[in-house]
Structure 1
Amino acid sequence: MAKTTKAQPRRNIRKKQPPPGPMIRPEFVGTLLLILAGLTLLSLFTPNPGFFGAGLLELLRVMIGWGRYIFWIVLTSLAIWFFKAYSTEDADEKWEKPVGTFLILAMLLIAFQFIKPGDGLVEIGGGGVIGWVLGEMLRSTFGTAGTLVLLVGLIPIVFILISGLSFRELFQAIRDLYYRFQDWRHFRQLTINNQPTITGVRLAEPKPRLIDRVLPGRTGAAKPVQRDGGPVVIIGSDDRALPSPPINQMAQLSSPDTDEFEAQPITDGRWQLPPVAQIFDEGYEMEISESEIRQRVKIIEETLLSFGVEAKVREINQGPAVTQFSLEPGFMATKDAKGNPRKVRVSRIVNLSNDLALALAASPIRIEAPIPGRPYVGLEVPNSNTNLVTLRTVMESDQFQRSKGALKIAMGQDVSGRSFVANLAAMPHLLIAGATGSGKSVCINAVVASLISFHTPETLRFLMIDPKMVELVNYNGIPHLLAPVVTELEKATGVLSWATREMDRRYKLFAKEHTRNLEAYNEKMTKEGGETMPYIVIIIDELADLMMMAPDEVERTVARIAQMARATGMHLILATQRPSVDVVTGLIKANFPARIAFAVSSQIDSRVILDSPGAERLLGKGDMLYMAPDSAKLKRLQGVFVSDSELNRLVQFWRGSAYDTERRSRGPVEMPKDLVQRPLLDEYADLVKKDESNKEEELLEKAIQTVRAEGKASVSLLQRRLRIGYARAARLIDEMEAQGIIGADEGGGRARPILVTQADDDADPTADEEYDE
Structure 2
Amino acid sequence: MAKKKKFKNNKKSWPKEKKPSIFALPEETRKRIWGVVVFILAIIITLSFFDLAGVAGSASMRALTFLIGKAVFIIPLILVLGGLVFFNVKYKKFFGPTILAIFILIAGIAGLIESLRPETKQGGWLGYILSWPFLGLFGGLVAKIVFGGVIVIGGLIFWYLIRGPRVKEIPRTGETLEIEKEPSLIKKIFLPKFKVKEVEPKIKETSTKLEEPILELRTKEVPAKLLAGEQYKTPPLELLETDKGKAAAGDIVTNSAIIKKTLENFGLPVEMSEINTGPTVTQYTLKPAEGIKLSKITTLSNNLSLALASHPIRIEAPIPGKSLVGIEVPNKIRCQIRLRGLIANPQFQTAASNLTIVLGKDVSGFSCYADLA
> How does the TM-score come out when normalised to structure 1?
0.18
Structure number with larger C-alpha Rg: 2
> How does the TM-score come out when normalised to structure 2?
0.37
